[in-house]
Amino acid sequence: MSGMTFEVDTPHGRMMATMLAGIAQFERDMLSERVRSALAAARARGRKLGRETGVRPKSDRLSPKVLALVAEGRSYRWIARDLGLSKNTVAAIVGRAKADTVRVIEMAP
């Protein structure tokens, strides 16, 4: 083994381990503080943080087919395999359709 070694069974070894752990924690806290500072500066500059809302061309194109197959009672796995989507994408399409339906019903007088 290369590098510094010490016995943690002795008082001197425990002191060294404690000091090294303290320095490591200090470095971790400093890194976290720098990241928070950079994010705050980006927000102040008007930068939008986080993942961008993406366009879903394939799932948007196939959503009418997915909803029709769900209405027929097909399983999400079968629909996904048949249309070349993932099961989670099928579930997301159905979830967005349900959310849109709820929103329309809430707006109705």
The angle subtended at Cα 38 by Cα 32 and Cα 42, nearest 5°, is 145
pLDDT at 60: 86
Separation between Cα atoms, residue 1 and residue 41, nearest integer Å: 43
Q: Which residue has the higher pLDDT, 105 or 49?
A: 49
pLDDT tens per residue, range 24-68? 999 999 999 999 999 999 999 999 888 777 778 888 899 999 999
Virtual torsion, Cα 89, 73, 106, 99, nearest 10 deg: -10
pLDDT > 70? residue 107:
no
Record the tokens describing residue 36, joined without a space.
């928070």
DSSP 10: S
